[in-house]
Structure 1
């Protein structure tokens, strides 16, 4: 029994290390998003850190319109980044989980 427990603990520690490495790697995965007309372009990491925002000069004349563009485009970019982040981390977590009966359904999407 203790051998199984020690093996499971080792597997969990290994999984924690893989999750940490995956989070670090996701800092290098870039997600690009732009408004439908291309006037606002945003790049962020899969960990949802904004890296760049490009705004067409035509939007600088109307503060409310610019704010609307930023909100919509940022939300779309964050949604994409979150999906990548969650899928990557879930795959690593599922791969590293010990085979415990009844736990399979917890990691299904």
Structure 2
């Protein structure tokens, strides 16, 4: 019978937060997708998800910054590169300012 491998205390919490947690799976999934068919907002959501997973890897799974960057760096770079080819999506403040400017013109 194999002994369980000791794990950082936070890894149990990470498994509760994400039951499907497998180290590096999200990065591989993103790299396997055709990012050019995704909408800009989907890419932004994917980027937020990747950054959160990278942070979780550091704080809960006990990975160093270098290890987390190695796991997610390529996927984050791919999403950022694709986002750079897209037109700018205004944030809430910019959208509000554009609406107000359009209302003043009427």
Answer yes or no: same fold by TM over 0.5. no
Structure (1 or 2) with the greater strand fraction: 1
Structure in which a larger fraction of residues adopt helix: 2
Normalised to the residue count of structure 1, the TM-score between the two structures is 0.31
Q: Give TM-score, length-normalised by structure 2.
A: 0.31
